[in-house]
């Protein structure tokens, strides 16, 4: 079935999104130049040519300006799960997503070029590392709900939560091993060669943990 085009955004919404993007761009530039902890909200407001309260209206916390693509990551994962082919299980769909991210050098997977500075900046800040841990915990619950919904199981299905925890842990280990390679040698291809085998190993282990369930067996699913 052909998807209907989204209605055009009204002027107020366009203006709000443009202001948010301007704040995000200014914050990112300052964070990359000076480090997250050294930049103040007032400096971001000045650079974006908006008031301090306008910044907080769009980003309740300073950390939100750094991790401002979290929603995009969730949407990408949701699309992979719920838009998978009929012959693919949710776990297979997510494994293939990881491979596509490497093949396409997806900027949401910061292993290539300039995004490497993003990771380095995050690792240099205790506040950002704490926020990243919180995001990982939150995303595990979100992923569990996505997985459960995709196979018509309740959101509190323990197998979905077990599977989500294993997949998030796999992604985290694979990412940081790949990042270490890319950061040391600047070789994106080598980073991918480290990242993907770990993804495949971890997802294979997760599939074994969920054996006999629709999370790893192909069948009808909810889009």
Tell me if the pTM is above 0.85. Answer: yes
Q: Radius of gyration of the chain from Cα atoms?
A: 19
CA gap 180, 93 in Å, rounded:
26
- Return the ∠ at Cα 210 (arms to 153 and 83), rounded to 5°: 55
pLDDT at 218: 66
- Residue 1 has a pLDDT of 37
Q: What pLDDT shows up at residue 173? A: 97
Position 111 scores a pLDDT of 86
**Could you report the per-residue pLDDT of 161-210, keeping only the tens digit for each?**
999 999 999 999 999 999 999 888 778 889 999 999 999 999 999 999 99
**Which portions of the chain are predicted below pLDDT 50?**
1-3
> How far is 156 from 192, CA to CA, in rounded Å?
34
pLDDT of residue 174: 97
* CA 55 – CA 33 distance, rounded (Å): 19
- The Cα–Cα gap between 205 and 214 comes to 16
């Amino acid at each position: 079935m052909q998807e209907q085009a989204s209605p055009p955004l009204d002027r107020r919404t366009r203006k709000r999104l443009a202001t948010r993007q301007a704040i995000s761009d200014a914050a990112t530039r300052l964070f990359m130049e000076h480090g997250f902890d050294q930049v103040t909200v007032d400096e971001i407001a000045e650079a974006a040519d908006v008031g301090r309260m306008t910044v907080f209206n769009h980003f309740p916390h300073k950390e939100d300006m750094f991790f401002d693509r979290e929603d995009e990551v969730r949407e990408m994962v949701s699309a992979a799960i719920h838009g998978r082919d009929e012959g693919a299980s949710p776990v297979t769909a997510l494994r293939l997503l990881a491979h596509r991210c490497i093949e396409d050098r997806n900027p949401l997977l910061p292993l290539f070029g300039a995004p490497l500075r993003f990771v380095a900046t995050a690792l240099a800040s205790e506040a950002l590392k704490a926020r990243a841990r919180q995001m990982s915990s939150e995303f595990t619950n979100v992923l569990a709900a996505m997985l459960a919904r995709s196979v018509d199981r309740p959101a509190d299905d323990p197998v979905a939560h077990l599977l989500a925890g294993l997949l998030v842990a796999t992604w985290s280990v694979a990412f940081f091993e790949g990042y270490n390679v890319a950061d040391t040698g600047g070789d994106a291809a080598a980073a991918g060669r480290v990242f993907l085998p770990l993804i495949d190993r971890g997802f294979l282990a997760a599939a074994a943990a969920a054996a006999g369930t629709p999370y790893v067996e192909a069948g009808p699913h909810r889009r």
